[in-house]
Chain A
Amino acid sequence: MLELQNISYSYQPGKSVLNNINAAFRPGCVYAIVGSSGCGKSTLLSIMGGLDMPVSGSVLYNGKPLTKKDLPEYRKKYVSFIFQSYNLIDYLTVEENLKLVSPLLALPVLEKVGLNRELAKRNVMKLSGGQQQRAAIARALISDSSLLLADEPTGSLDEENARAVFDLLIQYAHGPLQGCVIAVTHSPVLARKADVVLKLEDGVLRKENSL
């Protein structure tokens, strides 16, 4: 589904964050990307999600290289994102944030992540950190995209809610949708539950067999 060919990226000339990364991601799989803080995991996720362009290399979706012109449609139709800092629109309610990405009913999806009708009508800034994160997850789930990219999706959640979110992500991949989930995480629990664990170190992405 998604392929990275010789992806390189640097914030400043001469200081590479990603060095010639090659990887392939297939549908129906949960991938966990691990690595130390600041190693470039979020940057890699941004490139995979079409939020930024690599300095060199290509991102292929279903075998077709993505150009700058393709990115808006790619982001709209094929990718959904869960951000580390939630990135909810602060003047909208939870329900309205979901309606931004999909006309489908928001409530069933919100209930899956543990948010009820009353919370759905509340402005997002009036929610706790955990509730905001769940709202962000619901926003990603409500779109019917085939690729879900998650940056620390359970960072603000307690153990019980984190487990519930893990199960949702796994069902997203292994269920009827057969989506591809790529999650950046520091959580060993999520990493253990993933089908494939990849480690980003010194700008290189390697398959991690065990944690």
Chain B
Amino acid sequence: MNFIQCAGRCFIRKKSRSIFLILLLTTVFLLLLTVVSVAGHAKTVLEKMEHNFNREFVVDAQNAPGSLTLERIHEISAREDITAYRLISNAVPVEFADNNGTSLSVKTDGDNCFISPGFEHAGTLVSNVTSDSDELFSEGTLKIISGRHVKENDAHKILVHKELTDKNSLHLGDTIQLKFPRAITRDLESMGYDTSHMNTHTIQAEIIGIFESQDNGHTAGMHLSHQLYENYCYLDLETYSSVFNPKAPPFFFQAAFSAASSSDFAAAVNAVKNLDWPAGQPNSIVSDLDHYADMIGSLSSLSNLLRILWIVIILVCITLIYFLLSHGVKQRKREIGILMSLGLSRSRILMQHIAEVLLAAATAMVIAFALSRGIVHVAREHMIAAAVKQSDGTEQAQPEQADGSPTSVSSDAAGIMLILGFLLIPVSVIAAEYPVLQKEPDENLRSVS
């Protein structure tokens, strides 16, 4: 009768012993799978967050018109640690009037539309290097239907919406006036703009293009009338800049820069802060890291804690299993003595006992794996959400946005479980049985089970 047959019979017939061993090993494997999987998920979430959120910062110079010139933007983007930059279109409220100074009619009706006092004839003045650089055109939300886009070297040129031209009988080539009455400058100041250098004289601009919006131009909710796409207009950058700081070259109020990596990010931000800003230091340099730093810190702490925890769990489990097996061997000393006295070799006896434990381990692995899928999901959601909540103070688990991975037991966890079950446990059996197998059969036969 070979050792596998013997092992199978012992495993099946010694029910209470087998069930106890399976339950213990299932608990061990379940704990291991959960902790290692959650640690792995936390690490993945962390890496994705750092990858997604930690690479772009926005320089905001609303308080210093004329600081963030095109030249300064190109100087920053030329740094080795900066991989890309994005010019954020300037956008401020403005009042429209015809060539004679008569206020133009703007769109003020529509669902959930609200007119701010003093903004009855106002729209939004947008400016970029070229009008088609603006993301509304590049995304296809707005589309030019006659004329052309505003180009880089244009001056006093403007794009307007079809609704504005229809309402006010305007055509290509007509000139309109752009005004900044007190209501608008007060609004700008409240938003942090420095209006002290502002040229609030009337600006004249020639209509060179007419556009329309592809949808109704706004999503659900309350809208300020001057922010409707129908009330947008696009002015050339030079003329726009001259409104806010007539002495400065063309500039932007905001620009975004992308760092090559997380380590480059900090250096780049510091370098930008330490530049010489003759026209005034930018108001702020904002990054996603400012919002997510605490969250990343919490997740990082959780990940480190879990990593230490699973190593501790493995050590405790190996020790526990060894002592359990040693106790089991003591209970079976007499049986070992009998088998040796019948002429069975030490290796044959050892192989049988290893096979018995492996049968229990394999059964436990299957049960633990089946149970772990649900437990890992719940544990992961709670632990990671708790870490996020602790840092962010909100209920929403923000990292979900960054984490597209399916919720499952990680391959690392499964691998560690297999190594523990099929390698470390048999080694524990050998270590536990070796002292007993070295004795003469008679000494083991004299043991009382």
Contact = CB atoms under 8 A, between A and B. Distances in A.
Given A72-B346, A96-B1, A99-B1, A52 B441 contact: yes
A99 B13 CA distance: 17
Interface stretch (B77-85, B176-184, B336-344): B336-344
Nearest to A90: B335
A52 B9 contact: no
B10 interface: yes
B445 A96 contact: no
Size class of the B contact interface (CB-based, 8 Å): 20 to 34
Interface in B320-360: 334-335, 338-346
- Which of B1, B344, B345, B346 has its CB near the most chain A CB atoms (within 10 A)? B1
A25 to B, nearest CB: 19
A146 interface: no
A92 B344 CA distance: 16
Given A46-B442, A51-B440, A52-B440, A96 B9 contact: yes
A211 to B, nearest CB: 28
A81 interface: yes
Contacts, number: 61
A75 B340 contact: yes
Nearest to A88: B338
B9 A91 contact: yes
B338 A89 contact: yes
A143 B334 CA distance: 21
Interface residues of A, number: 26
Nearest to B14: A91
B443 A75 contact: no
B266 interface: no
A139 B344 CA distance: 14
Contacts of B14: 91
Contacts of B443: 52
Contact of A51 (B10, B334, B335, B442): B442
B335 A89 contact: yes
A46 B442 CA distance: 7
B6 interface: yes
A12 to B, nearest CB: 14
Nearest to A42: B442
A35 B393 CA distance: 87
Contacts of B10: 91
Contacts of A81: 341-342
A143 B343 CA distance: 11
A51 B343 CA distance: 10
B341 A92 contact: no
A162 B6 CA distance: 31
Contact of A72 (B338, B345, B442): B345
Interface string A60-87: 0000000000011001110101010001
Interface of B: 1, 6, 9-10, 13-14, 334-335, 338-346, 440-443, 445
13 contacts: A46-B442, A49-B341, A51-B340, A51-B441, A53-B440, A75-B340, A81-B342, A87-B334, A87-B445, A88-B338, A89-B338, A91-B14, A143-B343
Q: Which 7 pairs across A and B sit closest by C-beta, in order of nearness?
A: A76-B343, A52-B442, A51-B442, A99-B1, A91-B13, A75-B343, A51-B441
